[in-house]
Structure 1
């Protein structure tokens, strides 16, 4: 599913279930030593998807360890993103020279918990969500906004090395085109010397009870 919202330069691997009893990859056991079983399963499957994607670029299987914000650390010259939710796990990777910014996220197509929408929106977004709920029922637009901002953060952090709060990006969603735009409300200076980030663009897909979002920049 997710490859439909990613450019050809990105390789994505996804899974809709887990392999019963699959052990962690050697070198990753300590990362989930205290995790509950559901967390262990999603971690193992999502990391397996990531290694399968990396193999297409010639990278041998190896542990994928976390950085300071628990973000996956990719082989030199690569960028990527991992996501998982109930019934879905996926990883997307690309050469950083081709796709320097990459973030993906998956969420169930269901309502956000009570009060969450107010905490993840900026002025004007709740009204947008209300309009979308009326004009395009069947998609939980608050959940989609949440997922889109997660994808924005995953694309943002590797090139800025700074936190980005939900309240620091304003989203505009085009339901017919299946796209969204995030206007960044904070300084977007990059540590890699690239142009400062002011706007990030993404795509979304809804199906099989899931909301999938992706942010890329070429």
Structure 2
């Protein structure tokens, strides 16, 4: 599978970040072996596109972990399908059509990391999917964000995906889009309010911060949950 290092984004979080652009059509059955990455049994019968996306994400994860001194660490999935990272490492993987990225840290204050890359939704989707993605009390903030970015629903959707990834290791259960709502934002940061109690350390009313950036047709969001979160 052909891939090349991408300079599409410079992340706000100062952790080890690796992003590539890849061509899923160049995927072959030898691609995993060529990159020395394990193909899980659950993907043996998956379509080539799914395998290519998984491989691209693992290539990024491998690069991020190598930067932390974990050379050739095999990232397996748990029973909940979440990646299992080395001890004392927190990380996150994302991929969309033709792009993948990973971020990792061994900072002892970091409890969870979440990143997400999305391609802009089509204008029709930006309208039709609002009630599925937005909290009922979120529409006012959403309309405000729409004055500053051309794809506000894509940004909020991506941010909520990053929040889910960052908090999942603490919450250890599924929670939906309604669990948080956008309350404030500025040029680079979104501030979400927890709308339910997710965990003793993640109670209703708590603020979760997400960095965001938009480039041509793409959105990157980053969320870090750490000990000093209030």
Normalised-by-shorter TM-score class: 0.7 to 0.9
- Secondary structure of 1:23's match? helix
> CA shift at 1:66, angstroms?
1.4
Tell me the equivalent position of 1:73. Answer: 84
> CA shift at 1:98, angstroms?
3.7
Q: Distance in 2 between matches of 1:217 and 1:110?
A: 27
Task: After superposition, give the CA deviation of every residue in 1:8-60 in whole Å (9 maximum; x if it has no partner).
Answer: 2x101001114833226453242321211111111101101101110111112
Note the 1:1-218 alignment, pairs <5 A: 1-6=8-13, 8=14, 10-18=15-23, 20=26, 21=28, 22-23=31-32, 25-111=36-122, 112=125, 115-133=128-146, 135-137=147-149, 139-174=150-185, 176-189=186-199, 195-196=201-202, 198-218=206-226
Q: What is the alpha-carbon root mean square deviation over aligned residues?
A: 2.1
- Secondary structure of 2:84's match? coil
Q: Distance in 2 between matches of 1:26 and 1:217?
A: 29
Q: How many residues align?
A: 209
Gaps of 5+ in 1: none
> CA shift at 1:2, angstroms?
4.1
Q: Distance in 1 between matches of 2:120 and 2:202?
A: 33
